[in-house]
Amino acid sequence: MGHSFYPMGARSNWLFYAVSIFLIAAQFYLNISVRMKILVILLASSLVLYAVSRTELGQRFLAYLGDTRKEIRKIVWPTQQETMKSVLMVALFVMSAAVFWWIVDAMIAKFFALILKIVS
């Protein structure tokens, strides 16, 4: 059985402990300079990231990030000219669809207006 992350094995109370430590630390944190706050945040973040990276889940996440980076390098990105052509095609299609549905809407409105005129 490995080392447990939860204090004293209390899985339901770890959030209480974390919030308590945060509230106590916040009292000291509020009275320090901005530069010191940034340093504290960077140091705390580094410690948390290091601690998480030592867990099995952290190791799997780091492996996932490595695999993702490898896959991103395999992507063949479009050139600026290809991108501009695609943007133009999408814009033209959207405008054409808007005009088409505007005409359909106008025809339906005229049809219902005609029906209401006949009925009344």
Q: Is the pLDDT at 97 greater than 90, yes or no?
A: yes
Do the domain assignments include residue 2? no
**CA dihedral (10, 15, 18, 23) positive or negative:** negative
8 A C-beta contact, residue 40 and residue 32: yes
Instruction: State the pTM of this model.
Output: 0.43
> Do residues 81 and 45 share a domain?
no
> Do residues 63 and 29 share a domain?
yes
> Do residues 89 and 40 share a domain?
no
Mean pLDDT of 73-102: 97
> Do residues 92 and 68 share a domain?
no
> Do residues 49 and 89 share a domain?
no
> Do residues 32 and 67 share a domain?
yes
Distance, in Å, from the CA atom of 84 to the CA atom of 3, rounded to the nearest integer, reads 55
> Do residues 56 and 88 share a domain?
no
Q: Is the pLDDT at 99 greater than 90, yes or no?
A: yes
Q: Is the pLDDT at 10 greater than 50, yes or no?
A: no
Q: 30 — phi, psi (to 5°)?
A: -65, -20
Do the domain assignments include residue 62? yes
Do the domain assignments include residue 82? yes
Do the domain assignments include residue 61? yes
Q: Which structural domain, as residue segments, surrounds residue 36?
A: 7-74
Do the domain assignments include residue 17? yes
Residue found by looking up tokens 């799997």 in the block: 60
Q: Is the pLDDT at 22 greater than 50, yes or no?
A: yes
**46 or 13, greater pLDDT:** 46
Q: In this structure, what token pair is assigned to residue 22?
A: 């945060």
Split at pLDDT 50, 70, 90, the class of 73 is very high
Distance, in Å, from the CA atom of 62 to the CA atom of 115, rounded to the nearest integer, reads 66
